Amino acid sequence: MKKRLFWLLLVVLLASLPLGTVYGGNRVPLHQNSARQDGEGEVSIIAWAGYIERGETDPNYDWVTDFEAATGCSVKVKVAATSDEMVALMNEGGFDLVTASGDASLRLVAGKRVQEIDISRIPSWDTVDDRLKEAPWHFVDGKHYGVPYQWGANVLMYNTDVFSEAPTSWDVVFEEMDLPDGDSNAGRVEAYDGPIYIADAALYLMAHNPDLGITDPYALDRDQFNAALDLLRQQHELIFRYWHDVVIQMDDFTNEGVVASSSWPYQVNLLKGAGEPIDSVIPEEGATGWADTTMMAADAPHPNCAYLWLEHSLNPKLQGDLASWFGSVPSVPAACEGNDLLGADGCTINGFDTFDQIHFWKTPTEDCGDDRGAVCVPYYEWVTNYIGILGGR
Amino acid sequence: MTSEPDSTMTPPSLKSKSPFRLISNFLYRHSCLATGFLLLLPVLWLVVVYLGSLGTMMIQSFYTYDHNTTQVLAEFSLDAYKEAFTDPILSPPNKDVIKRTVRMAGAVTIAAAIVAFPLAYYMARYAGPKMKGALYLGVMLPLWSSYLVRVYSWKLILAKDGVMTWFLSKLGLMPVLDWLLGIEGIGGKSLSTSYIGVFLVFLYVWLPYMVLPINAALERVPKSLTEASSDLGARPWYTFLRVILPLSFPGVVAGSIFTFSLTLGDYIIPNVIGTSSYFLGTLVNVERGTLGNWPLASVLTVVPVVIMMVYLSVAKRLGAFDAL
């Protein structure tokens, strides 16, 4: 009995030791920035789901294993679901790279969370699509803050049983109307559950209400913003659900009778692959879209491995495989050719030629970015107002 | 006192040189210290993990959030409280969410009490030993499977082309369903995207937490009291109203603490089922997880804490803690 008591005390003592050190201790970086050119053995990346695959979901899609073998940098991935989450994770620190969309990238640059990229350390830089090399969502004040990764559009997904011909306008999700099958669209359409969706409404108004003078759906002054909110309130009556979960949206299209919604090529490809009567289109108003950039944290603990990954991220095989997996468009045009997974016209199907129709996500700021000055509605008001609209306000 | 019974019978050898023996001798002579060591871990847990996190949250609610860079600054301000309650532009949606959540929690609690009481009553008073075992199992069984799986399967049950609709249409009850879904404020496009759906799933998920305390309270009502009541001429319903119900009511209040607080904080069900309107849990999740607005998230967490403190003090007066 005595002995048992002793062991118990010993365990308690030992257990309380690390507690004390964790609570009072400082975080010591495991690797100091070194001048060595070889890798530090690790690189940690914040990425969208499906962006960094190591063959675990499908053995055909693997662009990590070879990289790890060649460089000795083991890849750690933290999946984030929204741009806001990516920014929050970068603010917490400890990561090397992030695949940031335009609505996160400028916030990261402004918050000094990411560092300038030395493109001379990325031999494949010249292969990048010229349309992306100096895109405003990562090229700021003449400095490169990242390497373009992939881009794509928020397409209009629709049910081909209901629409024998592809809808030509976003009006099917914004205005109450009878669909080709004779029934109203009320309760059969969905919208994206993210404040950035206000830009989709603004894009629609840009084409249908020119008096508002919207030139950029992400730079809305008070009147334009309120008009977009009114449109979204009208849309609220039609909406079956505001989606953010890919699985739930696919279930809504198969089990709940939803027939049209803003969506990502990812869901469209999965549903088509499962034999569902689903297709997608970019309507005449154009579409919002995302263009993702791999950016490097200002205090990246493994800068050498990070540069090795940045170079690897432009590999045509990786770019083509990823485009096929995610339904996106490569940032390296060479990836479009000779990729079995992507197919001969994979790039065209995923929207390679639609670049000019797409208004890429960027963070709305008070500064409109044009001669109107600082009269635009900043992002945090987008957030609050969109939460209100979801609640029927 | 933590000394073992056998050690009092055979006094420890004071001459032993083994270090174990030395330490145990030392502790034997300083039994306060031994008690202290034993309590170290639970106390650390309570103070550091439990109260510590609560305190950190309270402190964070007074931090400042820079909306433009989405960074939290460790500067004292009441901005987050203003954003939640008084700001004319920013607060109304937040206040909507608080109201919506409290109403839902209230409705779920009342419904759970109404559904659970007869079941618990039957379990405590009428069911035979076999039946009782089966009923206990039935109540507890859902708690053994994954919460997430159950919620997602409810989405399939309540879907427009789902089991529930099919069942109701076979029974010819579709007009009732359409009428329910047509009610302004709680209806919707289908069961899975209406407040009714959210309500049903909450009710299902938290029901065991209501049944068990009520059952425990009813088991403790002595049979002799009900017999005495009827001997004195009370009719059964009068006995129920004046004897059984008051004696078991603390159990109802105890159960309601669970259902009310769990509904207040849940962020998974409104995410999967319902109108996409935010509830407190989902709003906290978005403000913290995706916007990094820790101060507002903390304020929104302080809200249910305050609500529950009021609730508990009322519950205490009603004697709920005597039934636990």
User: B6-40, pLDDT tens digit by residue?
Assistant: 544 555 555 557 888 888 888 888 888 888 888 88
* Same-domain pairing of A34 and A132: yes
SS3 A112: coil
DSSP conformation class of A54: B
- pLDDT of the residue at A7: 54
The mean pLDDT of A306-321, rounded to a whole number, is 94
Cβ atoms of residues A256 and A239 within 8 Å: no
- pLDDT of the residue at B323: 52
* Same-domain pairing of A164 and A106: no
Most confident of A343-352, A383-392, B166-175, B197-206: B197-206
Q: Is residue A269 part of a domain?
A: no
**Using the beta-carbon criterion (under 8 Å), do B70 and A242 form an inter-chain contact?**
no
Q: Is residue A68 part of a domain?
A: yes
- Choice between A184 and B287, residue whose per-residue pLDDT is larger: A184
SS3 A155: strand
Q: Which domain holds residue A63?
A: 2-150+289-357
* Same-domain pairing of A27 and A105: yes
Q: Chain A: nearest CA to B307, how far in angstroms?
A: 22
Residue with tokens 């997974």: A341
The residue type of B189 is K
Q: What is the dihedral of CA B302, B307, B308, B314, to 10 degrees?
A: 150
B residues 240-299 near A, CB within 8 Å? 271-272, 275-278, 283, 286, 288-292
Buried b (16+ CB within 10 A) or exposed e, A168-202: ebbbbbbeeeebeeeeebebbbbbbbbbbbbbbbb
The mean pLDDT of A126-131, rounded to a whole number, is 93
The pair of structure tokens assigned to A137 is: 């969502």
Residue with tokens 């977009």: A228
Nearest residue to A187 (alpha-carbon basis) of A244, A256, A233, A243: A256
Residues shown for chain B: 324
- pLDDT of the residue at A4: 52
* Same-domain pairing of A344 and A370: no
Helix then strand then coil, % of chain A, to nearest 5: 40, 20, 40
pLDDT band at A78; cut points 50, 70, 90: very high
- For residue A33, pLDDT over 80 is answered with no
The mean pLDDT of B173-186, rounded to a whole number, is 87
Q: Is residue A270 part of a domain?
A: no
Q: Is residue A371 part of a domain?
A: yes
- For residue A116, pLDDT over 60 is answered with yes
- pLDDT of the residue at B10: 52
* Same-domain pairing of A25 and A135: yes
Q: Is B90 on the interface with A (CB under 8 A)?
A: yes
Q: Chain B: nearest CA to A9, how far in angstroms?
A: 6
* Chain B residues within an 8 Å CB radius of A378: 67-68
- Choice between B288 and A88, residue whose per-residue pLDDT is larger: A88
Q: Give me the percent of chain A exceeding a pLDDT of 70.
A: 91
Q: Give me the percent of chain B exceeding a pLDDT of 70.
A: 93
CA A378 to chain CA centroid, Å, is 20
Most confident of A142-151, A351-360, B272-281: A142-151
C-alpha count within 13 angstroms, C-beta hemisphere, residue A10: 10
- Point out which residues pair with A330 in neighbouring strands: A150
Cβ atoms of residues B77 and B172 within 8 Å: no
Mean pLDDT score across all residues of chain B: 87
pLDDT band at B190; cut points 50, 70, 90: confident
The pair of structure tokens assigned to B318 is: 């009603």
Q: Is residue A239 part of a domain?
A: yes
pLDDT band at A59; cut points 50, 70, 90: confident
3-class SS string, chain B: CCCCHHHHHCCCCCCCCCHHHHHHHHHHHCHHHHHHHHHHHHHHHHHHHHHHHHHHHHHHCCCEEECCCCEEECCCCCHHHHHHHHCCCCHHHHHHHHHHHHHHHHHHHHHHHHHHHHHHHHHHHCCCHHHHHHHHHHHHHHHHCCHHHHHHHHHHHHCCCCHHHHHHHHCCCHHHHHHHHHCCCCCCCCHHHCHHHHHHHHHHHHHHHHHHHHHHHHHCCCHHHHHHHHHCCCCHHHHHHHHHHHHHHHHHHHHHHHHHHHHHHCCCHHHHCCCCCCCHHHHHHHHHHHCCCHHHHHHHHHHHHHHHHHHHHHHHHCCHHHHC
Distance CA A296, CA A43 (A): 11
Task: Select from B41, B92, B156 the Cβ nearest to the Cβ of A388.
Answer: B92
Residue with tokens 């992400």: A218
**Using the beta-carbon criterion (under 8 Å), do B7 and A383 form an inter-chain contact?**
no
* Same-domain pairing of A374 and A302: no
ipTM confidence score = 0.75
- pLDDT of the residue at A206: 95
* Same-domain pairing of A143 and A124: yes
Of the candidate ranges A146-160, A219-233, B26-40, B207-221, the one whose mean pLDDT is the lowest: B26-40
CATH of the domain at A236: 3.40.190.10
* Same-domain pairing of A250 and A301: no
Mean pLDDT score across all residues of chain A: 86
- pLDDT of the residue at B27: 84
* Same-domain pairing of A166 and A51: no
Q: Is residue A271 part of a domain?
A: no
- pLDDT of the residue at B322: 65
Cβ atoms of residues B50 and B34 within 8 Å: no
- pLDDT of the residue at A365: 84
- In sequence order, the 6+-apart residues with CB closer than 8 A to the CB of B307 are B102, B264
* Chain B residues within an 8 Å CB radius of A187: 189-190
What distances in angstroms separate CA A365 from CA A203, B66, B93, B245, one per listed residue? 17, 13, 21, 60
| Widest pairwise Cα distance in chain A | 87
Of the candidate ranges A59-73, A145-159, B20-34, the one whose mean pLDDT is the lowest: B20-34
**Using the beta-carbon criterion (under 8 Å), do B291 and A381 form an inter-chain contact?**
no
Other CB atoms within 10 Å distance of the CB of residue A49: 13
* Same-domain pairing of A110 and A170: no
Domain total in chain A: 2
**What is the model's pTM?**
0.77
Task: Select from B44, B68, B291 the Cβ nearest to the Cβ of A88.
Answer: B291
- In sequence order, the 6+-apart residues with CB closer than 8 A to the CB of A217 are A199, A200, A202, A203, A206, A288, A359
- pLDDT tens per residue across span B143-167: 888 888 999 899 889 988 888 889 9
- pLDDT of the residue at B143: 86
- pLDDT tens per residue across span B93-141: 999 999 999 999 999 999 999 999 999 999 998 989 999 999 999 998 8
- For residue A36, pLDDT over 90 is answered with no
* Same-domain pairing of A191 and A92: no
- For residue B255, pLDDT over 80 is answered with yes
Q: Is residue A196 part of a domain?
A: yes
* Same-domain pairing of A58 and A139: yes
Q: Is residue A284 part of a domain?
A: no
**Using the beta-carbon criterion (under 8 Å), do B271 and A379 form an inter-chain contact?**
no
Q: Chain A: nearest CA to B115, how far in angstroms?
A: 29
SS3 A154: coil
Residue with tokens 């994770």: A89
Distance CA A7, CA A14 (A): 10
